[in-house]
A and B are shown apart, each in its own frame.
Chain A
Amino acid sequence: MTGHDGWEPEAPELVRPYVITKGRGLPDEEHLSLITLVTASAEDTRRPARLSPEEQSLLDLCSAGYLSVAEIAGHTHFPLGVVRILLASLKEGGHIMTRPPVARARPADKEILEEVLNGLRAKFG
């Protein structure tokens, strides 16, 4: 954490979403789906940039490991759309790395389903 004094939890109600997002539109959802995993990039890949307090907050949140886009929204209490836009901007600046879910065919992949089934059995008997 950087020690900067970021937004307070009530910020989402006090600041209009379009101010936080600087009027930017929603990114391509394929790239930042609910379960796309996100983490901060290693320092040296980052382009120098002035981040907004909200962007800095999200970056701090992702700095210790991977979280899904949905979890980032859940922890920050920002609306999902706002989180997506901020993350897209952070990604554009090279600040974060994303790991999209594997594109799937229907019916669902056998291999992944088998792994989920085995995992559930192992965990819950």
Chain B
Amino acid sequence: MGSAPSLGERDYVRGGATQTAVKILVVGHFAVGKTTLIGSISEIEPLSTEETMTQAAESVDDLKGVQGKTTTTVAMDFGRLTISDRVVLYLFGTPGQQRFVQMWEDMARGALGALVLVDPERLADSFPVIDLIEQYGLDYAIAVNHFDGAPLRDERALREALDLLDDTPVVTCDARDEKSSAAALTTLVRYLLDRTR
């Protein structure tokens, strides 16, 4: 046999013919724990897709006046959770860089909403991420990744720092913990549901 990956039964979507796929984005700055959170609730080993991006080079001071271009490989990690016989949920971990516009359009199209993972010690790193989410009109909840599981000391300060609306949910979670990650996701989905009323 060739070396095409051979998959087990569990790798395939259960009852695919009757299923609707939906997606939720898990967004946040570099190393905030997106892949960890996805891995803790995914029923498959998280996978990664790669896309090669061409981007305008940051520096345009080329003497010949030719605008330089560089290519970058962007990886998105994702996982899957079978919700029911009818619905399968995909969780896509998305880096929060403005420059990957094409990828963001791809990711945001049709997404139910976004869980924004935030490191309380690096709040400023989350500003561009939240800007992007809002730019694409996605509803979101904030999950503060607290590795020690301690309650968030000052939610009000965090809300002010991130300039959140009053009804935007803020939860703390430990991305390594399945139940904790699922609870954050549940908070988001309940909020999205409230928004439909």
Residues in chain A within 8 A of chain B (CB atoms): 1, 3-9, 17, 29, 33-37, 39, 53, 57, 60-61, 64-68, 70-71, 73-77, 79-81, 99, 101-104, 106-110, 112-121, 123-125
Contacts and interface: CB of A to CB of B under 8 A. Distances in A.
Contacts of B178: 124
Nearest to B186: A120
Contacts of A74: 47-49, 78
Contacts of B7: 61, 64, 67, 75
Given A66-B17, A75-B7, A117 B50 contact: no
A1 B16 contact: no
Interface stretch (B56-64, B79-87, B117-125): B79-87
Contacts of B80: 68, 71
A35 B23 contact: yes
Contact of A70 (B2, B78, B137, B196): B78
- Tell me if B's interface is mostly helix, strand, loop or mixed: mixed
Given A35-B90, A37-B16, A108-B192, A75 B83 contact: no
Given A79-B50, A115-B84, A116-B112, A102 B20 contact: yes
B84 A119 contact: yes
Contacts of A5: 1-2
B16 A66 contact: yes
B21 A117 contact: no
20 contacts: A1-B1, A34-B92, A36-B21, A37-B21, A39-B16, A53-B2, A64-B9, A65-B9, A68-B21, A70-B76, A75-B47, A79-B49, A79-B51, A81-B52, A99-B19, A104-B110, A107-B192, A115-B84, A116-B189, A124-B182
Contacts of A80: 49-51
Contacts of A99: 16-17, 19, 21
Given A65-B12, A67-B7, 20 more contacts: A3-B1, A3-B2, A5-B2, A35-B21, A36-B21, A37-B13, A60-B2, A66-B17, A67-B12, A68-B80, A71-B44, A108-B113, A108-B192, A112-B20, A113-B112, A113-B196, A115-B86, A119-B83, A119-B84, A123-B182
Contacts, number: 174
Contacts of B4: 1, 6-7, 57, 60-61, 76
B95 to A, nearest CB: 15
Interface in B65-112: 76, 78, 80-81, 83-84, 86-90, 92, 106-107, 109-110, 112
A101 B87 contact: no
A5 B1 CA distance: 6
A119 to B, nearest CB: 3
B161 interface: no
